[in-house]
Amino acid sequence: MGQPLNVGLVGAGHISGQYLETLDRLDDLRLVAVADLDLDRARAVAEPRDAAGTSVDELLARDDVDAIINLTVPTAHADISLAAIAAGKGVYVEKPLAATTTEGRGMLDAASAAGAVLGAAPDTVLGTGIQTARAAVDSGLVGTPVSATATMVTPGHERWHPSPDFYYQPGGGPLLDMGPYYVTSLVTLLGPVVSVIGAASALRDERVIGKGPRSGERITVSTPSHVTGALVHASGAISTLLMSFDATATRAANIEVHGTEGTLGVPDPNRFAGPVWLTTAPNSPWRELPPSAGYRGAARGYGLADLHWSGAFASDPSAGRAQGKLAFHVLETMEAVLESAREGCAVQVVSTVERPSAVPLDER
């Protein structure tokens, strides 16, 4: 691990605050520069942290930036990441990896050719919630996994986000926005996906912004806002996925894993911690499992820290858990669900990936 990793943050929008809290707390990550289309906003974020507020081009030209955190909108993920790789920087990009698998493949190829680190969110799977659930599955507490369900239902992000346009454009929607948390968790728990069947709809052509200076403005919906799919894992387990911006609420578990010997209740994969519940007999009470694996202090940005702690920037760009190849497999799986919905047939997932190594219980 050695010296701290010098980090440049690109995109000082809504999600950046959570990353900045992690950068403020972890001594192993040092923020040296912030770039944003709004230079004043970049400076406002950077200067209290003794970092530089600058343009993207100037940030990428800096010799003291080892890696960037790419927090731009999904349609800009590829362009910014490719520019960073060309400038000799490592990249950690917000989910999804890219707006399309074509762009994602280009990012993987560029990183491989340059010997650069390419990591990606979500890193919520590194926390005690998903890692404790994984430990339960791996230790056989549910027997052989047979199936899983993953459910995310919300009326839509325009209720709280002041600029929600990209959530309703290609590269967004409930599947590409929230699906990465759920599909990454399913791959972490059950392994890679080999084929999918999907269905999708968009019940409204427009959405109305409910907060901020654009409140009351109508925005166009140009991507499915309700998506469901069946994911067939290489292990033989079958996951059922429901992602919706069209419904009001749900009482369904975020994720459940059903096995031959029991059922596991998995916490919200958009969070790093939460209770894991297990039942192992018909009509028996559920019992909560104590945290047994994962980073206890995890928050957004821990995926980059894990890459650094694992030696990705020092010696082996493929080291660490939040690798771009995992994010690419998740992206291809989600894109396959949407393709299946359009074509009305099963779609094969060509890429595969090994489950990242488990995270031992770690107090960092």
From its phi and psi, is residue 142 left (phi > 0), alpha (psi between -120 and 50) or beta? alpha
Q: Do both 44 and 182 map to the same domain? A: no
Is the bond leading into 96 cis (omega within 30 degrees of zero)? yes
Q: Do both 186 and 285 map to the same domain? A: yes
Residue indicated by tokens 């009001």: 248
Q: Is 337 a member of any domain?
A: yes
Beta pairing class for 118-120 and 90-93: parallel
H helices present in the chain, as ranges: 16-25, 39-46, 56-61, 74-86, 101-114, 128-138, 173-190, 302-309, 324-343
Assign residue 204 the CATH number of its domain: 3.30.360.10
Q: Do both 62 and 115 map to the same domain? A: yes
Q: Do both 284 and 154 map to the same domain? A: yes
Q: Retrieve residue 298's tokens.
A: 């995890």
Q: Do both 90 and 186 map to the same domain? A: no
Gap between the Cα atoms of 169 and 315, Å rounded: 39
Greatest alpha-carbon span in the chain: 62
Q: Do both 274 and 192 map to the same domain? A: yes
Domain that holds residue 99: 5-124+298-323
pLDDT of residue 1: 54
Closest CA to 28 of 66, 64, 68, 1: 1
pLDDT digits (tens, 9 = 90+) for 310-339: 999 999 999 999 999 999 999 999 999 999
- Phi, psi angles (nearest 5°) of residue 128: -70, -25
Q: Is 354 a member of any domain?
A: no
Q: Do both 282 and 156 map to the same domain? A: yes
pLDDT of residue 170: 87
Q: What tens-digit pLDDT sequence spans the chain (364 residues)?
A: 579 999 999 999 989 999 999 999 999 999 999 999 999 999 999 999 999 999 999 999 999 999 999 999 999 999 999 999 999 999 999 999 999 999 999 999 999 999 999 999 999 999 999 999 999 999 999 999 999 999 999 999 999 999 999 899 988 899 999 999 999 999 999 999 999 999 999 999 999 999 999 999 999 999 999 999 999 999 999 999 999 999 999 999 999 999 999 999 999 999 999 999 999 988 889 999 999 999 999 999 999 999 999 999 999 999 999 999 999 999 999 999 999 999 999 999 999 999 999 999 999 9
Alpha-carbon distances of 293 from 129, 136, 207, 231, 271, rounded to whole Å: 8, 10, 41, 26, 15
Q: Do both 178 and 120 map to the same domain? A: no
Q: How many domains, in total, are found in the chain?
A: 2
Gap between the Cα atoms of 220 and 99, Å rounded: 18
Q: Do both 275 and 305 map to the same domain? A: no
pLDDT of residue 282: 85
Q: Retrieve residue 206's tokens.
A: 């427009």
Q: Do both 97 and 142 map to the same domain? A: no
Gap between the Cα atoms of 301 and 104, Å rounded: 20
Residue 74's identity, in one-letter code, is: P
